[in-house]
Amino acid sequence: MQAFIPDVIQAHFDEAAYLFTEFLVEINSEQPNKVYLKKVNARLDAHLDGLLVNFDAAWSICDEALSVDSPDSPFDYPSEFSASEFFIASFLAFHSQDFEKVKPVVESAESQPSILNAVAYGLTWLPWQQSSFWATKFVTSSRPAIAAIGLFCHQTYKQPAPITSYDLVVKSLGQGPESVIPIALLMVEKTQDVSVLPLLQRYHSDELSLIQLKVLESRIKLGDLSAVVSLRGFVLNENDYQERALKLAFSKLDSNDAKQWIAALQSGFKNAPEAMSSEDAQSGRLVLLAIGAMREKPLLPWVVKQMHIPELARIAGRVFSQITGFDLRKQGWVITDGSMDEYWLSLEGDEELDWPDAVKIEQGMQF
């Protein structure tokens, strides 16, 4: 007789995947909210416990995607199975202590940075008493991706390891795979190991790739502000990492350079609420994000003006809060009457943000 309800197991799985995504977003934000993180972690732990109670049923959700005999083999997996779902599969596999479950998880980790990151967290989510069995084996591997998983766990639990993040950066920059570079640099940033800077300064790619961006980010976080100018290509050209690069660049640029870059972003932006094109909306959005990153209080009236443009209203509200520190909900400065529902359905992006009430904000700020 079946002792579990499949829909309940699936619900635990889906909710855990969602919460791990929330966890990643928060820890990678400019100022992580520790209180919110604690709540997310507690909820994530509860759903993972729910999966462990019915382990076989939970593992069956992962099994097909991880099977090397399946069309969705480990190296094809990412398009079928999200990184957050892969975190759950990794957690379950390492918890099981079953090599046949762990093997496909670890082999898939080399496929791309987000998967490697998910596997590393999947192992580290277990207490050291459980994770150390695998971490001590992995950290001595000749394969950089596997060694990275082990070192990540050692660093998280502040355990001595036979290799350093510097060693991993040297290996991954020299022999690959490139998927190891982001997590290796993350560990370098945590330890503030500036000895790696000469290596990073010699690395260059003409591609607007995640690896190139991550190298520049690490240089900046390690104190090499000469890397900021190299973010210009990411900021001024459409690419997958444009907003991420923009937020970092404008938090570091001096005022003169910032004005020049904003002028380039504003090219063609009409600042008109009627018949706004997608290109205008994107340009306006980028300018707003730049102003937010710079914390430019003198430009608050302009930011509030953008709240009258539906395509820009929600991101303008976030930037307003970023600059002023005001919580729009607590101030009663959000639209809650459903009058913006048609735009919520027709406009893509920023769905998680509130609609700011521009009139109330203008009155409250006396603009």
Preceding peptide of 273 cis, ω within 30°: no
The residue type found at 255 is S
CA distance 169 to 211: 12
In this structure, the chain runs to a length of 367
Listed range (86-95, 231-240, 338-347) with the worst mean pLDDT: 338-347
The pLDDT tens digits of the residues spanning 169-213 come to 988 887 778 889 999 999 999 889 999 999 999 988 888 998 899
Residue of 297, 309, 286 lying closest to 356 (CA atoms): 309
Give residues with Cβ within 8 angstroms of 287, minimum separation 6: 262, 265, 266, 269
Residue of 334, 245, 320, 327 lying closest to 288 (CA atoms): 320
What per-residue confidence (pLDDT) applies to 15?
94
Instruction: Answer for the pair 112, 78: CB distance below 8 angstroms, yes or no.
Output: yes
**Beta-ladder partners of 356:** 334
- Examine the pLDDT at 241 and tell me if it is beyond 90: yes
Give residues with Cβ within 8 angstroms of 158, minimum separation 6: none
**∠ Cα 119 125 128 (to 5°):** 110
Q: Where are the domains of the chain?
A: 1-108, 253-367
